[in-house]
Amino acid sequence: MKRILVGIKRVVDYNVRVRVRPDGSGVATEGAKMSINPFDEIALEEALRIKERGLVEEVVVVSIGSSDAQPQLRTALAMGADRAILVQTDAAVEPLDAARLFLALAGREQPLAILLGKQAIDDDNNQTGQMLAALWDRPQATFASKVEIDGDVARVTREVDAGLETVEVDLPAVITVDLRLNEPRYVKLPDIMKAKKKPLDTISATELGVTPRQRVRAVRFDAPAARQKGVVLKDVTELVAALKNRGLV
């Protein structure tokens, strides 16, 4: 059976204004609304569209983390995914360990492609897809704004600094998606009810042969500095003088 694996991550909803804890130990998430990472939601939407075109038969969503990620997996099932897998761990999962877990799942599921968001909005690492492709020894196409699948080949339009670049990669491959790829569908109440009956399997990270460990430790978090008040100057002479005083000219 041809299938696509889609990784989703539970993050603070992008509409929520996050705040740093008073002691600087991290971001305050208590009581904050949690959602699917927006880039991952776009990846899921693209996988569903590929399935609707008859190019694959199954879409499987995967999340790595604690049992708190189950509501986000159920949302993904309500969007149209066929089944969900929760790789359960209470440890902080860095990109390398996430890539190793996806690699283990790729060995089990034998997907035609693995779709991921280009990055998560909580840590902005933009590393998991690239690491997975290297470990899996398969092609990668990152920052996708258009995906076309023709048999065992994917033609991907990428967003790069100079504009757009189109590449062809043999499948299986890893594809990470950008914001302009699509607009995720709205989840309706009947779909939410149907999602409750879809399979959601839980497997521990150690069962997949990976024990997540911390390699990088954040020692302190600080909120951005407050924006300084603007200054009104009379003329160009005052502007130049002010710039000189700041050492800018």
Backbone angles phi, psi at 45, to 5 degrees: -60, -40
Q: How confident is the model at residue 56 (pLDDT cuts 50, 70, 90)?
A: very high
Q: What is the mean pLDDT of the chain?
A: 93
Q: Residue 20 has what pLDDT?
A: 87
pLDDT, average across residues 181-188: 93
Q: Is the predicted pLDDT of residue 228 greater than 90, yes or no?
A: no
At 176 the pLDDT is: 97
pLDDT for residue 208: 94
CATH code at position 103? 3.40.50.620
**Residue 152 banded pLDDT, cuts 50, 70, 90:** very high
Residue 185 is predicted with a pLDDT of: 93
Q: Tell me the whole-structure pTM to 2 decimals.
A: 0.87
Half-sphere exposure of 201 (CA within 13 A, CB side): 11
Contact 101, 205 (CB under 8 A): yes
pLDDT for 132 = 97
Which of 68-77, 137-146, 215-224 has the least mean pLDDT? 215-224
Alpha helix locations (H) across the chain?
38-52, 70-79, 95-109, 128-136, 189-195, 236-245
Task: Read off the tokens for 181.
Answer: 């790829």
Looking at residue 25, its pLDDT comes to 82
Task: State the average pLDDT over residues 170-180.
Answer: 95
Range in 98-102, 109-113, 204-208, 220-224 the model is least confident about: 220-224
pLDDT tier at 171 (50, 70, 90 boundaries)? very high
Buried b (16+ CB within 10 A) or exposed e, 207-218: ebebebeeeeee
Our count of domains for the chain comes to 1
Structural domain range at position 78: 3-245
Residues 6+ apart with CB under 8 A from 215: 94, 96
**Distance of alpha carbon 86 from alpha carbon 62, whole angstroms:** 6
- pLDDT tens for each residue of 76-99: 999 999 999 999 998 889 999 999
| More confident position, 163 or 86 | 86
**What is the per-residue pLDDT for 3?**
96
d(CA 43, CA 56): 15
Q: What percent of the chain has pLDDT over 90?
A: 71
Q: What is the pLDDT of residue 62?
A: 97
